[in-house]
Structure 1
Amino acid sequence: MALESILKNNATFYPSLFCLLIAIFVFNFTTTRIRRRRRSKSNVPPSPPKLPFIGNLHQLGTLPHRSFRTLSHKYGPLMLLHLGRTPSLVVSSAEIAREIIKAHDVVFSNRTQTTAAKIFFYGCKDVAFIHYGEEWRHKRKICVAELLSLNRVQSFEFIRKEEVEEMVSNIREACKRKNKVSPVINLSQILIGASVNILLRCVVGNRCNALRGSSNFDDLARKVMIQLVDFSFGDFVPCLWWMDYVTGLIPKLKATFRELDAFFDEVIAQHKTDDQSDRKEKDFVDILLHLQEEPMPEFKLTQQDIKAILVDMFVAGSDTSSTALEWAMTELVRNPSIMRKAQEEVRRVVGDKSKVEDIDVKQMKYLECVVKETLRLHPPAPLLAPRETRSTVKIRGYDIPPKTSVYINAWAIQRDPEVWERAEEFVPERFENSEIDFKGQDFEFIPFGIGRRRCPGIAFGIASVEYVLANLLNWFEWKLPETATCAQDIDMTEKSGVTVNKKEPLHLQPVPVGSFGS
């Protein structure tokens, strides 16, 4: 009887269900055709042929800045890709970048908030990934005024000096332990450590020594930079968000986040328990905590806001500096005549002094050219930080829809042979007697970004890079390991992350010179 009842009831249920499925199919088919007609009527930029569902993802290699340049050679400097379900605009021309910033900067001032960014930056409460608006303005203003301004950067001279002196001393000690035989050192790892230590001292002040022992933060910072660009199904095909759990991405990101969060909890706890009355100079964390206790009328600074801002400062600030230094030393070793010219200038300016001073570095004009050429050829963040359109906008007659991800390929722009002579070669002399600078007004040279969302830490980063590089060139001769046959054989393969550094660390033999520290 029960079976007969079920069959009798389903006799009316199954036809109804079938009709409902047909109706859903017809509705989806119709709306899809309407959307396609609308897109065909809109004038969108050129786009490579795409595959169903994944769009152009199959054309995105392990080094997206190189893949984008290859595609732009065929489809033009303004190109629309479909990365899964995400429309993505790729800009590979200085002139188009200029038009975007001069006429439509506000429209292009949001950030693409990825799955990893939402996890690492406490729901994107930081300065780099928060959407454009009043809250972003206030947070950026705090960071610039209290840490990144020129005056604050100059006040950190003693920190740079002490940390770099320790780095140089450690390299010299390594040389002594080898009984007059030059050791082979992992210079990449040393540069990461020095960059992190400088930033730690500037942000957390005298508590730096205690914190260094509590966490191998240089490895953690680099892990974050790599995982920030790990492939996420949810970012490109939102309906497949659950695949990020299946692949293990979300558990991996959350494990790294727990390390970050524990580190910054320790930083804040130490600042809250220490007696601040004994110190005349407050560090950056002190200032953030003070602002939290006495909230500004514009907005309230929460604990998560503070930690998100600290992730910005530590991760982006340290990794970009060490990456630039790694590429600078690599190019100098590959170009011995440029190395000699740079060393001659540095040693002439420093003379017989036992320490390199900031005032000395300001006189090293060729060293400045070396740093600029390094940033031109090897911008640490080749695609800058991806933007997102806030509304529909027209560029060069093309219609760009809202919520389109925007990649400005600084790497391709800075290697454009129509703009740069000998574009693929390392030629610091191109910046001698040149007014081209990286502060965002010369759109052919944009390693720190452009417009409202350009990097606010230019002065901080350049001061650290130039000072470390001047010391490396002044106190050491640098040789290839005996196993290397030729400088041009150095592996230049890139490793992708938010910053793009060498896949293989730079190993060199240092030979001490001069009377350092005497």
Structure 2
Amino acid sequence: MYIIFLICLISTILIFKLYKSSHVKPHLPPTPFRLPIIGHLHLLSPLPHQSLHNLSIKYGPLFRLFLGSTPCVVASSPEIAKEIFKTHDDAFLNRPHNSIAEYIAYGGKGFIFAPYGPYWKFLKKIIMSQLLNGKTLDILLPVRRDEINRFINYLSQKAKEGKSVELEGALMKLTSNVISRMFMSKRCSEEEDESRDITKIVTEAGEIVGKFNVSDHMWFCKYLDLQGFGKVSKDVHSRLDALMERIMMEHEEIRKHEKGEVKDLLNILIDISEDDSMEIKLNRENMKAFILDIFAAGTDTSAITVEWALAELINHPSVMKKAIEEIEQVVGKNRLLQESDIPNLPYLQAIVKESLRLHPTAPLILRSSTQDCIVGSYRIAANTTTLVNVWSLGRDPFHWESPLEFMPERFEEKQLDVRGQHFQLLPFGSGRRMCPGTSLGLLMVHVTLGVMIQCFEWKAGENGNLTSVDMEEGIGITLPRANPLVCVPVARLDPIPLPSNS
């Protein structure tokens, strides 16, 4: 009897343990030791994507941090990114709270910071169906072509004078003028009054938004402006709002006297605001926030991507040579490369993909969880800030051979795109909140880089005497270079085949 009782007791204990283990709640992701008050802030460097990448090597592809009192998780592998953006996309559709961004961006009324819901869906709908659809981009093709011609003309003059070009500034001017003309039919670089240059004010806004605001992450500082960011943001918002109001009033005045075909994106936006059949009525602040989004997302990102790509080509002359040979074979020497040529230039496309892999202009994608969910067998609670480290995804050794090397040929073997379906390569994000301007951005990057190497050789340095350039990353939310790329352009084509009216 004693033996039978003992066997029954042991069996009962084992069954209870098995039942309990099968019903254990998923545990939290691993986390480093944290300090009181500041949490894990001491572990982050001025280049947080690099710090988080190093931490992922120790703590795994999904780990937990506290930025002050703000709970966060960091995703660093394509598998975890896929769960976040595809399997659990419904749970990660909001942006984390950023009081400065929300204030400058009219209370989050623009596309970038608006919470997911009917209003955000409406904004996405009008972006994809009217503002940035293929038809509208085709209508505004002459604007982009003219600005590229002006840019090449500027570089040609520098080549004749034997002078160097600081490419970050030159490329920023190009992309700013493209966005400015597409949106409001005006070149921002021609504004003599700096208060009317929207790109300069937007750059200021981006700088303040990208800084770590103690008030957002330490509960006892919530109503204190310890760093003075609140005061600065009010000044930026005031100047930005005055400029937006001026731009809209000018457009409205012109519309009173000119009827006919749409000339720019702002006209389309105003038409939408005046359309009573729309399910949501856009007011003035909605439109101002939207204008800000377009300039914030469309200017420095394309310029920085081209700058990184050209730097890589200078450091890899064999890749440069192969790209030039492809362009000469497809385009020739008697005309400039056009947007319509891009599908026939697979190696140029591979160069852009490889540059975006190593130098994504959005190295960290931020989301905020709206509900509890299980990711990678770990529990992520609602209201957790989620950082997907795109910079890490592009360096994952399980998905990329020799991940630190610049090898465009890898994309001749792997048919990968950058539109959010391949989770080891997410320069534009993924899921419902991925960048809606991807098509426009890729057009600008491919054409700009293509014509630059078609028309010129690039000698690095002020005097063109450097054989290579450094690849150190700078501080900023769009991953700029630490040291701007300075080169002397030398004409490859003589004469450069510019239209006579450029």
Q: TM-score, normalised by structure 2?
A: 0.89
Report what 1:100 is aligned to: 84
Are positions 1:335 and 2:316 aligned together? yes
Report what 2:15 is aligned to: none
Q: Is the 8 A contact 1:113 1:124 kept in 2?
A: no
Q: Is the 8 A contact 2:131 2:268 kept in 1?
A: no
Are positions 1:470 and 2:430 aligned together? no
Give the alignment of 1:338-487 within 5 angstroms: 338-384=319-365, 386-481=366-461, 486-487=466-467
Partners of 1:453 and 1:120 lie apart in 2 by: 20
Kindly state the Cα deviation for residue 155 of structure 1 after the two structures are TM-superposed. 2.9
The amino acid of 2:452's aligned partner reads: L
Report what 2:238 is aligned to: 258
Q: Is the 8 A contact 1:211 1:267 kept in 2?
A: no
Q: May I ask how many residue pairs the two structures share in their alignment?
A: 471
Partners of 1:453 and 1:513 lie apart in 2 by: 42
Q: Is the 8 A contact 2:188 2:199 kept in 1?
A: no
Which sits farther off after the overlay, 132-141 or 151-160? 151-160
Kindly state the Cα deviation for residue 305 of structure 1 after the two structures are TM-superposed. 0.7
Kindly state the Cα deviation for residue 218 of structure 1 after the two structures are TM-superposed. 3.6
Q: Is the 8 A contact 1:228 1:497 kept in 2?
A: no
Are positions 1:269 and 2:253 aligned together? no
Kindly state the Cα deviation for residue 451 of structure 1 after the two structures are TM-superposed. 0.8
Report what 1:44 is aligned to: 28
Partners of 2:415 and 2:369 lie apart in 1 by: 32
Aligned to 1:495, the other structure's residue is in SS state coil
Report what 1:500 is aligned to: 479
Q: Is the 8 A contact 1:153 1:463 kept in 2?
A: no
Report what 2:12 is aligned to: none
Partners of 1:114 and 1:130 lie apart in 2 by: 12
Partners of 1:487 and 1:317 lie apart in 2 by: 32
Report what 1:511 is aligned to: 490
Kindly state the Cα deviation for residue 278 of structure 1 after the two structures are TM-superposed. 4.2
Kindly state the Cα deviation for residue 225 of structure 1 after the two structures are TM-superposed. 2.4
Partners of 1:47 and 1:294 lie apart in 2 by: 52
Partners of 1:498 and 1:296 lie apart in 2 by: 39
Partners of 1:211 and 1:47 lie apart in 2 by: 52
Q: Is the 8 A contact 1:192 1:218 kept in 2?
A: no
The amino acid of 2:483's aligned partner reads: E
Partners of 2:309 and 2:200 lie apart in 1 by: 21
The amino acid of 1:47's aligned partner reads: T
> Does the C-alpha gap of structure 1 residues 353 and 117 become closer, same or farther in structure 2, counting only changes over 3 Å?
same
Partners of 1:152 and 1:362 lie apart in 2 by: 20
The amino acid of 2:291's aligned partner reads: L
Unaligned runs of 5+ in 1: 1-39
> Does the C-alpha gap of structure 1 residues 497 and 485 become closer, same or farther in structure 2, counting only changes over 3 Å?
same
Q: Which residue, 46, 67, 75 being the options, matches 2:51?
A: 67
The amino acid of 2:97's aligned partner reads: Q
Q: Is the 8 A contact 1:90 1:408 kept in 2?
A: yes
Report what 1:148 is aligned to: 132
Q: Is the 8 A contact 2:214 2:221 kept in 1?
A: yes
Report what 2:68 is aligned to: 84
Partners of 2:79 and 2:102 lie apart in 1 by: 32
Partners of 2:476 and 2:89 lie apart in 1 by: 26
Partners of 1:120 and 1:107 lie apart in 2 by: 26
Partners of 1:337 and 1:411 lie apart in 2 by: 25
* Alpha-carbon displacement from aligned partner over 1:463-506 (angstroms, at most 9, x marks no partner): 01111111101111111126676444x23222222211112211
* Alpha-carbon displacement from aligned partner over 1:41-84 (angstroms, at most 9, x marks no partner): 87211111100111111111101100111111111111110111
Q: Percent identity?
A: 35
Give the alignment of 1:156-305 within 5 angstroms: 156-176=140-160, 178=161, 182-205=162-185, 207-208=186-187, 212-214=191-193, 215-243=196-224, 245-275=225-255, 277-305=258-286
Report what 2:8 is aligned to: none
Q: Is the 8 A contact 1:479 1:509 kept in 2?
A: yes
Partners of 1:495 and 1:253 lie apart in 2 by: 23
Aligned to 1:408, the other structure's residue is in SS state strand
Kindly state the Cα deviation for residue 147 of structure 1 after the two structures are TM-superposed. 2.4
Q: Is the 8 A contact 2:156 2:491 kept in 1?
A: yes
Aligned to 1:432, the other structure's residue is in SS state helix
Give the alignment of 1:21-40 within 5 angstroms: none
The amino acid of 1:128's aligned partner reads: I
> Does the C-alpha gap of structure 1 residues 279 and 503 become closer, same or farther in structure 2, counting only changes over 3 Å?
farther
Which sits farther off after the overlay, 299-308 or 390-399? 390-399
Report what 1:138 is aligned to: 122
Kindly state the Cα deviation for residue 242 of structure 1 after the two structures are TM-superposed. 4.3
Q: TM-score, normalised by structure 1?
A: 0.87
Q: Which residue, 319, 323, 331 being the options, matches 2:300?
A: 319
Unaligned runs of 5+ in 2: 1-23
Partners of 1:246 and 1:300 lie apart in 2 by: 38
The amino acid of 1:59's aligned partner reads: L
Partners of 1:291 and 1:64 lie apart in 2 by: 40
Partners of 1:460 and 1:439 lie apart in 2 by: 12
Partners of 2:75 and 2:333 lie apart in 1 by: 49
Aligned to 2:457, the other structure's residue is in SS state strand
> Does the C-alpha gap of structure 1 residues 79 and 288 become closer, same or farther in structure 2, counting only changes over 3 Å?
same
Q: Is the 8 A contact 2:324 2:454 kept in 1?
A: yes
**How large is the RMSD of aligned CA atoms in angstroms?**
2.0
Partners of 1:72 and 1:438 lie apart in 2 by: 23
The amino acid of 2:38's aligned partner reads: I
Kindly state the Cα deviation for residue 325 of structure 1 after the two structures are TM-superposed. 0.8
The amino acid of 2:126's aligned partner reads: I
